[in-house]
Amino acid sequence: QKEVEQNSGPLSVPEGAIASLNCTYSDRGSQSFFWYRQYSGKSPELIMFIYSNGDKEDGRFTAQLNKASQYVSLLIRDSQPSDSATYLCAVNRAGGYNKLIFGAGTRLAVHP
């Protein structure tokens, strides 16, 4: 079992729809969870992080965390073609200092 799993996609949604990206992790001791967006050929850029169970909203983005189910998700409301990118889920490795374990990413395609 991979430490951080994401569906590779592509996830195709129409413009204006809600895109739902999912991530599961194996280490129950993980404490912080991050979503990065990576455009083709570019470096990852942070969207948001979450560390408490429940929802966290930032503009059109909502991160959801369920530690009991070891599940974290990212919702993108009113999806735009400019949201088309690969979304990386990252989970900190429990214990010691912060080492992030990344999923392979989900490719999102928003079509007009």
Residues that bind other proteins (CB under 8 A): 4, 32, 34, 36, 41-46, 49, 51, 88, 90, 92, 97-100, 102-105
How many residues are given for the chain?
Answer: 112
Q: Closest distance between other proteins and the C-beta of residue 6, in Å?
A: 8
For the CB of residue 16, give the shortest distance to other proteins in the complex, in Å: 29
Measured from the CB atom, the residue of 51 and 71 that comes closer to other proteins is 51
Angle at 102 between CA 97 and CA 105, to 5 degrees: 160
Instruction: Answer whether 90's CB lies under 8 Å from 32's CB.
Output: no
CB nearer to other proteins: pick between 17 and 67: 67
Min dist CB 30 to other proteins, Å, is 12
Torsion angle of the four alpha carbons 64, 1, 9, 54, in this order, in degrees rounded to the nearest 10: 0
Backbone angles phi, psi at 73, to 5 degrees: -135, 165
CB of 14 to other proteins, least distance (A): 25
